[in-house]
Structure 1
Amino acid sequence: MATDPLAKVRNEIGLRVAEIRDAGPRLSPLDLYARMDAIRQLAALNGLAVLEGLARHSTQLALLPGHRVAVQSCLEHVEEAFDSHTDGDRTTILAALAVRLH
């Protein structure tokens, strides 16, 4: 039986996303930034370029007005980004996010 080599990473990212969702409005923009950057770093260390791109974009949005809605919208695409592998996938996810936020 084959196991997912990224199962541990997927679990860790899932826990971090859950923490952000659970903390919700109690997190300051800087806390959101730091937590999303931690996800970005974890993605980068494990070669998850699409997830890294989404998390990088999320860190930027965390510091802008409307950050709570923007980051929550980004979190909705984490699973999709985790399973994506091409630059086109990253562009599609970021485009979908942009449409939703505007």
Structure 2
Amino acid sequence: MGDSVSDLHHDLQRRLHDIRARAEALSPLDIHARMDAIRGAADRAGLHAMEGLARLSSQLALLPGCRVATSACLAHAEDAMAARTQAEHQAILAAVATRLH
């Protein structure tokens, strides 16, 4: 793994950890903005599963029950960082959907 990819993974993991640690204190709009920033970085890097999960998280952050939805999405973020195939991407999003129902 090249330094730039490793640096990106470290940065995204740091951002996700920060959101998880402060989720109760963050407003839904702040969670939305932070997850959308992660989505953009993941998209630019080609981390499709992380991009999809962050997109879903940013959208769910604006709905009632956002704390539960954000927690469910963040619980799968590490898997999303490691996903390399479309099948893995779909499996992660399905796992989040299952946890939310």
Taking structure 1 as the reference length, what is the TM-score of the superposition? 0.91
- The CA RMSD measured in Å over matched residues stands at 1.0
Amino acid aligned to 1:46: A
The answer on 1:64 being equivalent to 2:63 is yes
Q: Secondary structure at the match of 1:25?
A: coil
Paired residue for 1:94? 93
Paired residue for 1:76? 75
Q: Secondary structure at the match of 1:65?
A: coil
Greater Cα offset, 79-88 or 54-63: 79-88
Structure 1: unaligned runs, 5 residues or longer: none
Amino acid aligned to 2:72: S
C-alpha displacement of 1:28 = 0.7
- Structure 2 CA distance for aligned equivalents of residues 95 and 44 of structure 1: 20
Structure 2: unaligned runs, 5 residues or longer: none
- Structure 2 CA distance for aligned equivalents of residues 84 and 21 of structure 1: 20
Map Cα deviations across residues 49-98 of structure 1 (whole Å, 9 max, x no partner).
11101111111111111101111111111111111122211111111111
- Structure 2 CA distance for aligned equivalents of residues 44 and 10 of structure 1: 13
- Structure 2 CA distance for aligned equivalents of residues 37 and 68 of structure 1: 16
Question: What does 1:38-49 correspond to in 2, within 5 Å?
Answer: 38-49=37-48
Paired residue for 2:15? 16
Amino acid aligned to 1:7: S
C-alpha displacement of 1:44 = 0.9
Fraction of identical pairs, as percent: 48
Length, aligned pairs only: 99
Q: Contact 2:23–2:31 at 8 Å: present in 1 too?
A: no
Amino acid aligned to 1:11: H
Taking structure 2 as the reference length, what is the TM-score of the superposition? 0.92
Q: Secondary structure at the match of 1:39?
A: helix
